[in-house]
Amino acid sequence: MKTFKDNIEFEIKKQIEEREIAPSRDLWSEIDLQNNNNHRSKSKINWFLVAACLMLTLSLGAVLLFLNQPSEIQPEMVKQTRKNTSEEIIKNPVQNNAPLAAQNNDKKEIKTTTPSQNKEEVISAVAIGQNKLIPTETTVKKPEIPQISNPKLLAKADSLKTPVKKKKYVDPSTLLFSVEHKDVIEKTKDGSNVATTIDLNAR
Amino acid sequence: MKLLFGNKKNDLLSLLKKQDPAAQKIFYEQNVKRFLSVSKSYVSDLYQAEDCLIKAFCKIFKHIESFRGESNLDSWARRIVVNECLNFIKSHKTVFYLDEINQSFHEDIHEPEIDCDFNAQDLLDQLPDAYRMVFNLYVLEGYSHQEIADTLQISIPVSKTQLFRAKEKLRKIYFQQQKKVRNENV
């Protein structure tokens, strides 16, 4: 037996399903408009994506270019600085007309400074490779500056030495004199070898 | 165009999936009145019901590619219309669900048969939103209490309570209307 509730439910369902309501306004125009807007927004998003991708690639390319350029410039800068210093140092010994005895001191200094030069060679291998200079003792031993095959070598050695305040040198004649009169000098000065500095420099 | 499609719903579906405007228009014309009736059963105001229907049609056309054809296209679209109406009610109105009541109240009360000359929409319009949603989902859409609970995010006992109270309310409204009619006749 059907209850009241079943009847009323059934009747409501029947009425709603059979019913058709005509829209009071033009719904299709609004639906069509919204659909078109959705499509347009989609296309806009796509264009924005494309533009963003292009911008990214361009910016990345620019960054890579800028990163590569300094690495090429740096060795040139090192070369230039090295050349400048070497040129300056070369000029100085020539102008000063340094005596030969000073080169003996230079020899020692070169010996001590060669390891540091080696370090520099390791750090800036490209720059020094282009100079094609290897500091050796044989080239420095030559007394005459003009005879040096490559003046840059001497410049390198001098660039590393500390400035000498007073350059002492021994004249061969004074040395011979001191050896010949060694006994006399020892007697007068209790063994201290001062005579060379007093007598011979004044001469 | 209608002659081209005829009853071939598969052709219509394939064209809808291609976002063909002509096919969309045909689908709209075939279903707008029926869907507006469904929408009006949930949302009392006709203008708001039409707004819900516009959004529902837009969703149907937008997500038509996700329709796999496992169920009928009309029932799938109707479900979207119902969901859109429920979302509208949830977003625009505060819905109160009353606490669950004793099981004894759920027992059906036998009543004499009624006349069928009442207006269903008038009865539904007088129901509170919570009652109407549960009643429509249960009676019109054929949802189970579990499905109603999942859809409205309520518990199953609350769904049962809302349905029971909705039926009681409908009965009261119906008898009040009958009394008015009798008094007018007298």
For chain A, give every domain's residue range.
74-164, 170-203
Rounded to an integer, the average pLDDT of B3-28 is: 79
The Cα A157–Cα A108 span in angstroms is 10
| Whether A9 contacts chain B with CB within 8 A | yes
CB contact (8 A) between residue B58 and residue A21 = no
A68 close contact with B: CB closer than 8 A: no
Mean pLDDT of the residues in chain A: 65
Taking a C-beta distance cutoff of 8 angstroms, is the pair B169, B122 a contact? no
Residue A171, SS3? Answer: coil
Q: In this complex, is the C-beta atom of A4 within 8 Å of any C-beta atom belonging to chain B? A: yes
Whether A57 has a pLDDT exceeding 60, the answer reads yes
Categorize the per-residue pLDDT at A80 as very low, low, confident or very high, splitting at 50, 70 and 90: low
Residues 6+ apart with CB under 8 A from A191: none
pLDDT for position A145: 55
Question: Tokens standing for B83?
Answer: 């969901």
pLDDT of the residue at B40: 93
Cα–Cα dist B144/B142, whole Å: 7
Name the residue among B37, B54, B61 with its Cβ closest to that of A30: B54
Query: Under a CB-based contact definition with an 8 Å cutoff, are residues A107 and A140 in contact?
Result: yes
Of A166, A164, A161, A114, give the one whose Cα is nearest residue A137. A114
User: Mind telling me how many Å the CA of B186 is from chain A's nearest CA?
Assistant: 25
Residue B72 is predicted with a pLDDT of 87
How many Cβ atoms are within 10 Å of A149's Cβ, its own excluded?
Answer: 8
| Encoded amino acid at B5, one letter | F
Local confidence band at A140 (pLDDT 50, 70, 90 cut-offs): very low
Radius of gyration of chain B (CA): 19
Q: Per residue in B115-166, pLDDT tens? A: 667 788 888 989 998 899 999 999 999 999 999 999 998 999 999 999 999 9
For A1-72, strand residue ranges (E) read none
Distance CA B87, CA A188 (A): 123
Which chain B residues touch A38 with a CB distance below 8 Å? Answer: 58, 62
B65 — phi, psi (to 5°)?
Answer: -70, -25
Residue A202 has pLDDT above 90, yes or no: no
B contacts of A31 (beta carbons < 8 Å):
24, 28, 54, 57-58, 61
Distance from CA of A35 to the nearest CA of B (A): 6
Confidence of residue A197 (pLDDT cuts 50, 70, 90): low
Does B53 score more than 60 pLDDT? yes
Cβ neighbours of A12 in B, within 8 Å = 120, 123-124, 139-140, 170
Q: How far apart are CA B118 and CA A190, in angstroms?
A: 147
Give chain A positions within 8 Å (CB) of B123: 8, 12
Q: Range(s) for CATH 1.10.10.10 in chain B?
A: 103-185
- CB-based contact A7:B114 (threshold 8 Å): yes
Kindly tell me if the per-residue pLDDT of B32 is higher than 70: yes
Would you list the DSSP string of B155-167? -HHHHHHHHHHHH
Instruction: Look at B114 and A28 and tell me if their CB atoms are within 8 Å.
Output: no
Instruction: Provide the residue type at B59 as one letter.
Output: K
Number of inter-chain CB pairs under 8 A, A vs B: 103
CATH number belonging to domain B103-185: 1.10.10.10
Tell me B110's DSSP state. -
Taking only the tens place, the pLDDT of each residue in B64-114 is 988 888 888 899 999 999 999 999 998 886 666 666 555 444 445 555 556
- Both tokens of A107, joined, read 């020899």
Looking at B18-72, list the stretches that DSSP marks H as alpha helix, in order from N- to C-terminal side: 21-42, 46-62
CB A21 to CB B62 under 8 A? no
Contact flag A38-B123 (C-beta cutoff 8 Å)? no
Fold for B2-92, please state it: Rna Polymerase Sigma Factor; Chain: A (1.10.1740)
Chain B CB contacts of A20 under 8 Å are: 33-34, 36-37
Per the structure block, which two tokens stand in for B88?
A: 């509208």
Domain with CATH 1.10.1740.10 in chain B: 2-92
Q: Give me the residue from A5, A27, A39 closest to B53, CB to CB.
A: A27
Question: What pLDDT shows up at residue B87?
Answer: 92
**pLDDT value for A42:** 66
Percent of chain B beyond pLDDT 70? 82
Q: Are A164 and A105 in contact (CB under 8 A)?
A: yes
| Region of poorest pLDDT, from A80-94, A133-147, B47-61 | A133-147
Q: What burial class does residue A82 get, using C-beta atoms within 10 Å of its C-beta: 0-12 exposed, 13-18 middle, 19+ buried?
A: buried
Minimum CA–CA partner of A27 in chain B:
B54
* Higher pLDDT among residues B98 and B57, named by residue: B57
* Mean pLDDT to the nearest integer, A118-138: 46
Structure tokens at A143: 């007394």
Taking the C-alpha atoms of residue B185 and residue B37, their distance in angstroms, rounded to an integer, is: 31
